[in-house]
Amino acid sequence: MLDLLSESLLLFAGVVFAFALVIGSFLNVVIHRLPLMMEREWREQCEELCKTPPETELPEGRFDLIAPRSRCPSCGHMIAAWQNIPVISYLLLGGQCANCEESISARYPFVELMTAVLAAGCAWHFGAGIEAVMAIGLTLALVPIAMIDADTQLIPDSIVLPLMWVGLTMSLFHPVSGTDTLFIAPRDAIVGAMAGYLSLWTVYQLFKLVTGKEGMGYGDFKLLAALGAWLGWQQLPMIILMSALVGAIVGISLMVFRRHDRSVPIPFGPYLAAAGWITMLWGDKVRNLYLDLML
């Protein structure tokens, strides 16, 4: 089977696509539940220290990424296994709950399809091998990071910190010769993590010194540190440039077309994640194209 996958790039990408659809369904659970789990933990700590009563209700009993089973947010109907098939169940149900017929957000199949397409893109780009596994793993971590930050303006340490340590660990397996690999040298990974964190931390401190406001969160520093650990310090300027450019375009567009309040912060994590993914696949080509245009 492994020989067949290594010989047929299309088959390998197709298998990864199907596998990532299932993972994307689980990532929907992570995106929804992890912020609630974090809030529950913070609230328990606040109640223990300050004895403050809760202002909003949170799920009681066991509540994690495994239990309880998924339910309709409108009527509480428990979702059966056949109703939880990625994308297909959404289409079969017509985008509605089978019990109360309340509309189901199209975001769920969107996350599943996006995860599958991005993972299959990694498989197609790198081919069957350990590099594809690494790229897919990074992709599966960036998806929930981006979506949770877009929803809550929080980047969970429980995802981004292990991601950084995995990147640093993988650098220990860097080959002695050859550069066409995701296995970067330990020196590049360590400097990448340090430079990634300190670069945005410095911008944050300067912005706060000048304006008295916080321009970004510490989760952004950690995310760029993780990307630096995976891709090396050499790729950081490209990641920062692309994320800042796209973030500026989106922010200006929101203010112009949707009358977005300038005082409401725009999460930066999704742009960092997208720029990191693009850099992982085509960083050298994008940089060379940029230099050709500028010189």
User: In sequence order, what are the residues at sequence separation of 6 or more whose Cβ sits closer than 8 angstroms to the Cβ of residue 141?
Assistant: 159, 160, 163
Q: Which long-range contacts (CB under 8 A, 24 or more apart) does 247-256 make?
A: 247/271
**What is the helix (H) or strand (E) element at residue 244, kind and residue range?**
helix 236-257
pLDDT band at 105 (very low <50, low <70, confident <90, very high): confident
Q: Which of 285, 279, 286, 284 is nearest to 139 (CA)?
A: 279
Is residue 120 pLDDT above 50, yes or no?
yes
Are 231 and 131 spatial neighbours (Cβ–Cβ below 8 Å)?
no
Residue holding tokens 């994308």?
87
DSSP label of 102: P
Burial of 78 (0-12, 13-18, 19+ CB in 10 A): exposed
Rounded CA gap, 144 and 156, in Å? 9
Task: Read off the amino acid at residue 183.
Answer: F
Provide the whole-model pTM: 0.86
Angle between helices 130-152 and 269-294 (to 10 degrees): 120
Are 262 and 255 spatial neighbours (Cβ–Cβ below 8 Å)?
yes
**pLDDT, tens digit, for every residue of 34-80?**
998 888 888 777 777 776 665 666 666 666 677 677 777 777 777 77
**pLDDT, tens digit, for every residue of 143-200?**
999 999 999 999 999 999 999 999 999 998 876 544 445 778 899 999 999 999 999 9
Q: How many residues belong to the chain?
A: 295
Q: How many CA atoms lie within 13 A of 209 on its CB side?
A: 6
Query: What's the confidence (pLDDT) of residue 200?
Result: 93
Residue holding tokens 């321009």?
215
Rounded CA gap, 150 and 167, in Å? 24
